[in-house]
Structure 1
């Protein structure tokens, strides 16, 4: 099969389309003929040599895909060859075929095309496992989403609104703020021209938000603590601004704050299957009801992975797909 290979750590130009050995469905796995895969920030880190795949996972990029099951391994009874599916991957989506544990496979939501469904698994599982399963955000609470125009952000805006949560976002331009509000956000903050802490306080009558989903890390940690209200929860999902920051412990004690974080890729197969099942139960119905849609910015053929990565690191809104 053909797959995108990282020739050496570096920029987008190190991605090469090559002929590689076909994967084989092992015990408890299915083999998917890929129709589309979606790009994620973790792909950039792996390409740069800063995020090695967990042991046992494919060395190729790609954390989600959609496609048609070509074969099932021993012990798989839920799926069969010919089923149209999408899947949460530990890697391997940037290829014509990929094998994946059967518990990480999802049916295509009704009303969504097979291609576009590739943009759902990673963001749906990430958002549901963080602010819902771990932080337990609930109806009537408020959330601040950093990076509202990202794949994670555009999905989180929509699913949070369906659950009765008030949503504020930050984004890097007035245009992206406007697009996020059109998608359902209650308000938005251009972090390049506004202080998000002061704006959050103004939007919440000085109380602060209940939950913050952060992708920046160190440089934002104290400002996030300021922006949280009593019993607020900060969930750190990414470290785009760096992993280190000096923390002022005062607000944590004064406001009874909780700081937590987690990655999705490093979870066990069993834990991922549990998350996928919850997504199927709680998120898929909202998608099929038309309340949540995948926001796709651009689509590239697999051989144009270099251009796709440049777009991912540039100005985009929502998801970028690759199609073999």
Structure 2
């Protein structure tokens, strides 16, 4: 691991526990998807956990988060309860969006988690609006906007970067560069494959970091967030990572070899962190087993909660299409 920041035993184990929660949650989701209890699309975060966990470790409750459609890890790391998140995946009313958001549109107002967006790059302008609103309220809140390198080809990316720089918005752009977007190699889509360099066109501060190392991500994100919060303007942090599973459950992965995937598996952030912590005497085998048992207990409880949940009554399917106050005012 990088060793760029000092970690005490408790914090190191927190990072490990958070990444393990994400990994085990998504493994459970795969089983539920195969059993047809989760419908629609399912995009997994397996291999990218260090990015969400490292960045979220530096955010305060007053800060805001805009996620991607690969958002389960981001939601869990932000503090969205696992039971409510799993209920949402199953389309239950007890979910954080009453089952209406599903896998790609998780939202949690209390935690200022402004959800995923099924439109590639769609969250970028939203993040700029949130950051602008926070600044006009006179707060020092930072908005962290996650997006993949595939979003960089969208006009919304450049428009948002430009406005964020002009207005010096308190906005942290977090690019999760997993090299392939949906299935096209980065070099086939971008003339400049080092995403952080694109910030130069907007005179914006930027950095790149090993997205497979949660310690390195936390250190880089801490420096970036401190600058943004201090009023230095937006910052682009490129996290070079890799998804160890397919883009979605329907992806045959014909664009990459098994050998490449296996080579990246050797850099699995969860396994690397565990090994480093054991070598650094920050986690004993007993503590590792206890953490794993705690995560399994949390997951089992979340599964019971979600499966015992209720589906939206048919009579309420049209609810929330319009604001309820508008509907009441329009009633005769």
Verify same fold: TM over 0.5.
no
TM-score for both structures, normalised by structure 2: 0.29
More strand as a share of residues: 1
More helix as a share of residues: 2
TM-score for both structures, normalised by structure 1: 0.29
